[in-house]
Amino acid sequence: MKFSESDLQQLAQKGISKEKVLDQIETFKEGIPFVRLEKAAVVGDGIARFSPAEVEALIDIFEQSRKHLSLLKFVPASGAASRMFKALFNFLETYDPSREGFKDYVHRTGSKDIKALFEQWESLPFYSLIQERIKDIALSKDEEKYLFVKEMLSEDRLNYGFYPKGLLPFHVYDDYVVTAFEEHMKEATRYSETDGKARLHFTISPQHEFLFKKEFEIARARLRHQTGVDFEVTFSFQKPATDTIAVDMGNNAFRDTDGSILFRPGGHGALIENLDEQEADIIFIKNIDNVVPARSLDVIVNSKKVLAGALLKVQGKIFEYAKLMENGIADASQLIEIKQFLEKELNVRFSDSFDHFSLSEQIKVLQDKMNRPIRVCGMVKNEGEPGGGPFWVTDTHGNISLQIVESAQVDRDDEKQASILKSSTHFNPVDLVCGVKNHKGEKYDLLKFVDASLGFITGKTQEGRELKALELPGLWNGAMAYWNTLFVEVPITTFNPVKTVNDLLRPSHQP
């Protein structure tokens, strides 16, 4: 690919090197190989299940340690709400109440989502607000439904489709409505608070920064009054330098009508850079749309404390062993103990040749295996929800490890791989607790633990033209591929995502 002067200026403005662009184009040409699944991770073989006594003990470990730790909740929150309202945008385009009754529309289109929505629409958190705005203009019940959706989505009205999902009304309390953003703040007071202050970091889009900061001041005042906890909330944006080039179907740079190269956001995997910039001993990660009303918080909070306790327990042992080896006093029997700990507690796998290594070589391997960030990932039983799952995976070097794998990464035309994928008993709700420092308190460079080969190539269109886009390795997939990993079964009640507006009607989101 030859770069024009204007191309080079464009790259410089985004902070992207020519070499990176050429590497990405080469990735499109070569394709991204499928992940090789060895077997599904299940309870007893890759997924830990704790007894009630163990749960209490792990919660106690966290509670005893938290006052000495810096805690942070990290929430990816840049996603727009437009996909939540896909069915309703279609409803506005295809329904005319002056020409067709609502029941006839449902019968004609077979739209189960629209039917279900209006059977329970009084339970939507913004129902009263919208009804107040349209109460004097609806001429019939059918027109009322149309005007309700129009008020919700039109650019010159509430324009909810423009908003980030985190700033939409999610839950109704006695005399006020709260957003997902505020619910995350409230939840954080229960497990990421130390010395009377809860710390949170949200990754957002630049165009929504003002709205988030405005909402923060409202939520902060209310929650300080309710909980007595203050907040330190920070924001960051996905970096332009993490954008990836788009190509046409011939793998040539895709250009806009003005001749400029089209770059696209690299997906949530780009947020590993934002995560790397955070300073904390323990970082909780959770998606913006997975929140519950206050009445259901106890289960969520206890589950988070269990994951954090599990992290602290294994991390404490790792730190002990790391210091032992660093001081040069680990003998052969101690190395066997360390190896067995890593195998049993952190599911680390070693090559068959390890036992034939010299003592110094074994120490080097063990130090490499231990000196990594740690993630403890909650996993819920698979009940048909979409999402990645926990698997034992073999990489291109023959190393076996626990990974979170998306279905798109698996060759489903391969019967054996498809069978392993289907056998998964649990899936990933994005419920992580991370330890990102070593035994000296030094933060790891998280960018060194990314498997760059685990991205995604997807098909898109731009102005009616087909293109191929490249997504970076997912934040909890390839971006954490070389972390030490522990999967823990958590209650299904901890997973309450809002992917469509109808999800707000679920019992778990009702006050």
Please give the full DSSP string across 46-82, using - where no structure is assigned: EEE---HHHHHHHHHHHHHHGGGS-EEEEEE---BGG
Q: Is residue 335 part of a domain?
A: no
Secondary structure element (H or E) that encloses residue 209, with its range: helix 209-227
How far apart are alpha carbons 447 and 436 in whole angstroms?
Answer: 12
185, 193 contact by CB (below 8 A): no
Q: Is residue 233 part of a domain?
A: no
Rounded to an integer, what is the distance from CA 478 to the centroid of its chain? 13
φ, ψ of residue 460 to 5 degrees: the values are -140, 175
Strand partners, 458: 469
**DSSP 3-state assignment of 31?**
coil
pLDDT at residue 386, rounded to an integer: 59
φ, ψ of residue 433 to 5 degrees: the values are -125, 125
77, 183 contact by CB (below 8 A): no
Q: Is residue 504 part of a domain?
A: no
Give the range of the structural domain holding residue 108, as residue numbers without chain letter. Answer: 83-153
pLDDT at residue 387, rounded to an integer: 66
Tens-binned pLDDT, residue by residue, of the chain (511 aa): 889 999 999 999 999 999 999 999 999 999 999 999 999 999 999 999 999 999 999 999 999 999 999 999 999 999 888 999 999 999 999 999 999 999 999 999 999 999 999 999 999 999 999 999 998 887 799 999 999 999 999 999 999 999 999 999 999 998 899 999 999 999 999 999 999 999 999 999 999 999 999 999 999 999 999 999 999 999 999 999 999 999 999 999 999 999 999 999 999 999 999 999 999 999 999 999 999 999 999 999 999 999 999 999 999 999 999 999 888 877 889 999 999 999 999 999 998 899 999 988 999 999 999 999 999 999 999 886 656 899 999 988 888 999 999 998 999 999 999 999 999 999 999 999 999 999 999 999 999 999 988 998 999 998 889 999 999 999 999 999 999 999 999 999 999 999 999 999 999 999 8
Q: Is residue 115 part of a domain?
A: yes
Q: Is residue 129 part of a domain?
A: yes
pLDDT at residue 511, rounded to an integer: 82
How far apart are alpha carbons 205 and 200 in whole angstroms?
Answer: 16
339, 366 contact by CB (below 8 A): yes
pLDDT at residue 385, rounded to an integer: 63
How far apart are alpha carbons 326 and 324 in whole angstroms?
Answer: 6
Q: Is residue 94 part of a domain?
A: yes
Residue with tokens 């000196």: 371
pTM as predicted: 0.95
Q: Is residue 99 part of a domain?
A: yes
pLDDT at residue 39, rounded to an integer: 96
Q: Is residue 139 part of a domain?
A: yes
Q: Give me the number of domains the chain comprises.
A: 1
Nearest to 509 by CA among 293, 321, 353: 293
